[in-house]
A and B are shown apart, each in its own frame.
Chain A
Amino acid sequence: MTTPVLAVTSASKRFAGVRALEDVSIELHAGSVHALVGENGAGKSTLIKLITGVYQLDSGSVRLRGEEVAFDSPRSAQRAGIATIYQEVHLAPQLSVARNFFLGREPTRFGSLDLKRMNRNSAEALRRYGIVADVKRPLGELGLGIQQMVAIARAVETDASVVIMDEPTSSLEPREVDLLLDLVAQLKAKDVAIVYVSHKLDEVFRACDTITVLRDGKLVSTGPTSELTRRQLISRMLGRDAAELDESGRTRLGRRELEDGEPVLRAEHLNRRLILEDVSVVVRPGEVVGLAGLLGSGRSETAKAIFGALPLDSGDISVDGKPLTHQTPASRIRQGVAMLPEDRKAEGLIPDMSIRDNIGLAALPQLTRSGLVSRKRVDDIVKTFMTRLRIKAASPLQRVSELSGGNQQKVLLARLLCLNPRVLLLDEPTRGIDVGAKAEVQALVAELAEKGMAVVLISSELEEVVEGSDSVVVLRDGAQLGRLVGDDITEDKIMDLIADAASEQIEASEQIEAEK
């Protein structure tokens, strides 16, 4: 085996005491495409940022062509021949394509930009990668896909020996994805070592030679693509061993008979170009519907769409038979929809405010009488919820930032519950909280459903979806693969659905390729 171009050995990184990456090693070889896969928070971005000098290692080492390196900034990594393409590529929208293409390494003549050369060379380079664009036009006037392709071509043209692509296809049309994979093949032929981060399985299997799976900041497996089945890959990403899985059956206990009532939530034929394709979720009173799928499958997007936070191109959503109108969270809240967001710190809580104020914030509109808030009524409500949800805190006045993750999550839940919602959308309700709190939150969700609420549950842990749901909608690439009910809800069946769809798609694209 040849010496790797780049080798990361036992890399570890913690942020404020929280493990982001632990003892991870990977090797990149010239002319080989290395896939990095894993769910949110698996450590993919951290690993990339350690290689490219955005973060510094706590322990471990990075070797470039056998020599140990420690980049202190993306700039020095770039000088050493490591080019990175990030998801966010919007640079200077006002500048022309050619200028963006040469940004940071412009050719000059007598101190002045050599515009002729920039225009000619960038047009040639883009054409080589199959991109036809007027290089004199401002980048911002072109479509997002083209902008992404320009960014990629730009990074690639720097004579890099290592090219890292962080979800390069997330905003691309299918046709553009083909172009991009062609580009990857060209780079491979030029003996470049490529890291390809993606959660789209068909791309990974089509383009990559080696697959490394990360989970919770640890290395799960690394090996040649040919030795891995789709099914194995999915189970490694979602957190169960294939062998272990074959024995695991249905785990949900105490399943209740659901009353046949009119559905509380009816969200049908949700469409949003490139994000959701004809997804339908129907929840009867007391039912918990799980949304299962890989990262980027549209599971969070479906919840966001129902909550009005993701504008839809088309779709019908009604609660208790009444169609919902305005696509804004504020109006959805008034119409009885509540959502627990995936990232509670960024979207949910105000950390420096007290428990009381965080809960009271949401309840305010109901409690306000002629513009004034009755302190006593707020206190009563807060106390009721703190007991009901068993929030452990010194007092209602304690700051939320001082609470544990599990208790923070309960505060957020309390805030949603005091609105008396009919529909509760829970996106990763147990992420980042300890085992005990997790069980409590799960029990609470079941209890809420029993009282007649309609609950939509999203989790990247299949086990949680299987155990907590009365029916499961399985998604992939924004499309609905199937709906499982009763005893059909098993981790096995869900993974089969996802894996089958993946291989079908690959066969289809291989067929198209062959016809060409």
Chain B
Amino acid sequence: MKTKDRGCAAQRQKTATLKDKRLNRRQFILFLLIPYTLFLAPSCNTEAAFETKDVKVNMTIKNISSGFVECEFSTNKDAYYLIAIQDPWENFNPTTNQKQFMQLALDSAYAEYLIWRNDLLRKKEFNVAPFSSHSLQYGNTTRIFTGLMPDRDYWVYAFPVDPETMTPAGKLVLENVKTLFASTVEIRFEYRVRGMWDYVYPVDTLGRINSRYPYTFLTVDSAEIASSIAEYGTPVHFFTEWAIDLFQYPELADIFYGVKATENDGIKSTSKFEEGHVYYTGINGLDGLFKHLAVYKFTWHEDCVYYFHDTDSTNLFLKD
């Protein structure tokens, strides 16, 4: 009995020790779990996550033309970054003065943001978008920088930003690009009118829609430009002046990409088609002067259906 008792006692002691060990293990697991639950367990954070350490911005120049440059930007981590294009500064090397250059670019963007924000606050707007949302990029971005002059040097650059401290958070990526003397993009504008609606189709040499080519267009009633037509005998003069204006003041242009359908009812668009009136539509690529200008003429009727190709353009003398 004694032996058995002793045996039982030993067993109890062993069990107790094991229990203690298990308890210790449990305590240990709990010890690990508590900070995990507090700090590491996934919670629903709805703010865009961003990093500021070891962030690299990649920039790929996809297309350089005479009036625009298309760039692709991406980051190796989720991060905010600034992108810009500008004329090169004389006697300044941005690669050897990176920090100064980046801070200047950031300050300049922030100064613009403050003016914008100040305007909203004056209007008693309580909720104003933050700088990161207004002026910085996040995620992959494709940007077509328009309004550039042909045959000119530009700096295209990007760098990561810490939106909380308003400081650069990584290295500058900068490329010196030179716009072409003349556009080499092979594109033509086809134009369709169906009743109150018209459509612009920027088409490549294979007949596919090019949705990356910036253009603008304008439809005018011939009566509105009668004096110009009377003076020069052609509406083309009006449209060439329009194209020159856009070339000189590109910021004035409404820029479109891909197919553009418009209802010309004078309500949702500024143009309004009227029965029996003669119209001219000018379509101009924002890629240098006159390169892709097409002007189409038509007489509008309620049930009219037209489809114009570039060979129908009235400005044949301006064609390539």
Bound together: no
Chain A interface (Cβ < 8 Å from any Cβ of B): none
Chain B interface (Cβ < 8 Å from any Cβ of A): none
